[in-house]
Amino acid sequence: MFQKMIDDSMKRSPWIFHINAGSCNGCDIELVSVLTPRYDAERFGFRLTGSPRQADIVVVSGPITLQSRDRMIRTLAQVPEPFCVVSLGSCPRSGNVFKGSYAIDGPLEKWTHVDVSVGGCTPKPEAIIAALAKASAILEEKRKAMRQADKADKEKRS
């Protein structure tokens, strides 16, 4: 009974952790604007958290720079399973205008699995909200698969 209540509440309130991997801050500003009263993504349950250990969805913006790469990998390792990674903007996907620079070590897919990718420089707030909703649906599927695997594992042991 309590597990069902926990599962239902987690479904409606995914927490977001944002990693800036060397961006120009254009995507960062758009992500913050999505959470303000004008677009109000919090009405869908999305909340920004300050700790990767509390995150359900990780949003990565900017090309992956040599300086930010190791920090990003360590941060992603701290996020509890299951979680989704959202690539925000053109930079994590391709490097955009920074592609070919000596300081860039992207794309993001080179370092982690990306569940949802939002294109654009900078992406529109509506596209960001749609991507977060898609990530939330993917997250629910991952949780369901994890519960089924745990249940099968328990049955094997008994």
Q: What is the pLDDT of residues 31-60, one digit of tens each?
A: 999 988 888 888 888 999 999 999 999 999
In the predicted structure, residue 102 carries a pLDDT above the cut 80: yes
Residue 134 burial (10 A CB sphere; 0-12, 13-18, 19+): middle
Rounded Cα distance, 23 and 15, in Å: 22
Helix axes 2-11, 125-157, angle to 10 degrees: 160
Average pLDDT over residues 70-75: 94
Checking if the pLDDT of 10 tops 60, the result is no
Strand, helix or coil for residue 23: coil
Q: What does the domain layout of the chain look like in residue ranges? A: 2-157
Q: How confident is the model at residue 123 (pLDDT cuts 50, 70, 90)?
A: very high
* Rounded distance between C-alpha atoms, residue 9 and residue 33, angstroms: 25
Tell me the mean pLDDT in the region 18-25: 90
pLDDT of 122 reads 86
2-157: CATH, from 3.30.420.40, 3.90.1150.10, 3.40.50.12280, 3.30.70.20: 3.40.50.12280
Instruction: Give percent of the chain with pLDDT exceeding 90.
Output: 51
Cα angle 80-84-85, degrees, rounded to a multiple of 5: 110
More confident of the two residues 55 and 150 = 55
Q: Across the chain, what does the average pLDDT equal?
A: 87
What pLDDT does 76 receive? 94
Kindly report the pTM of this predicted structure.
0.87
pLDDT exceeds cutoff 90 at 130 = yes
State mean pLDDT over 11-16. Answer: 78
